[in-house]
Amino acid sequence: MPRVAVVGSYGVGLTMRVPRMPVAGETLSGGEFSSGHGGKGSNQAVQAARLGAQVDFFTAIGADDLGRGGQVLWAEEGINASVVVPEDAATMAGVILVEESGENRIVIAPGALARLRPEDLDDFESTLAAADIVVVSLEIPVEVAVRALELAHAAGTRTLLNPAPAAPMPDSVWPAVGVLTPNATEAAVLLGLDPDAGAHSAESLALRLHERTGATIMMTRGGHGVLVCLDGEITHVPPVEAAAVVDTTGAGDSFTGAAAVALAEGADPMTAAQFGARAGAWTVAHSEVIPALPRRSDLDSSSISSSPTTSTDPESSTSGDPT
């Protein structure tokens, strides 16, 4: 059983579907409410656990009902959770208002996650060292993400950084990053470039990010598949056709969690990217996030319809929709 350690976020999405947005001072009736588990770290941990990994998860929550709900989820999924519970801080929550047209307004309160400090990882250091791979995402303070990557790297553990939401990273961290899983917009932000997805070719971004960081790049491109950049060479991993596109929320987390499991099992980056693409295709065909994350039995090899192709031309294709 591969061991995957995840350092990242947990939060709850509180969604209200409304006929229209209220104006200032107005109380509007007729909404439909729903809530669900979220946070990139938690989603990735659940995906890895469902695909057969032994998962350890480090995060911060509040001493509140939302945080207790997260602990119930992790227990049900067989995840070993190490949680920091700062005083007077709530669990991360996002309040989402969605109009009938699909337009939305979102406000996120990071709560306990914003209180995390690098030293909070001290008690998790031995877990990072014992893992086959450590997965880190950026809904936590950058300095905490950097510390997790550095501790894992110092212990000889392979690392994967999912740079989402995108944020500038110090150059000093790149020797500690083994694998990067950005989309084109996130890659541009890491390179300090215009994040407009149409401003740069996906291959150029992947190659430049690989040259700058030394990491293996798995750039997700939604319906255009995945670009893997390793040793200065670009490999195109073709897209996996989804049975339907119902809800794309969580597809990137599904990809990252699945790719991490494959890497922990010894797969090469191209095979890991294929496995991640299959998981992402399953996720977009189902509604919500946690219910849509697949189990191993859901992913059969018939999902793969073509083989990767290799190119050394950084300008031979344009960027597609990010996953």
Residue 182: burial class (beta carbons within 10 Å; 0-12, 13-18, 19+):
buried
Q: Is 253 a catalytic residue?
A: yes
Structure letter (DSSP) for residue 102: S
Measured CA to CA, the distance from residue 92 to residue 114 in angstroms comes to 9
The answer to whether the Cα torsion of 97, 28, 90, 64 is positive or negative is: negative
SS3 31: coil
SS3 310: strand
Measured CA to CA, the distance from residue 150 to residue 133 in angstroms comes to 13
Q: What one-letter code names the amino acid at 222? A: G
Contact between 49 and 77 (Cβ < 8 Å): yes
Structure letter (DSSP) for residue 183: B
Contact between 111 and 63 (Cβ < 8 Å): no
Task: Count other C-beta atoms under 10 Å from residue 266's C-beta.
Answer: 10
Q: What one-letter code names the amino acid at 49? A: A
Q: Which residues, at least 6 apart from 271, have a Cβ–Cβ distance to it below 8 Å? A: 262
Measured CA to CA, the distance from residue 161 to residue 122 in angstroms comes to 19
Q: Of the listed 122, 253, 313, 321, which one is catalytic?
A: 253
Q: Which residue has the tokens 């914003």?
A: 114
Contact between 97 and 21 (Cβ < 8 Å): yes
Q: What one-letter code names the amino acid at 57? A: F
- Please list the active-site residues: 253
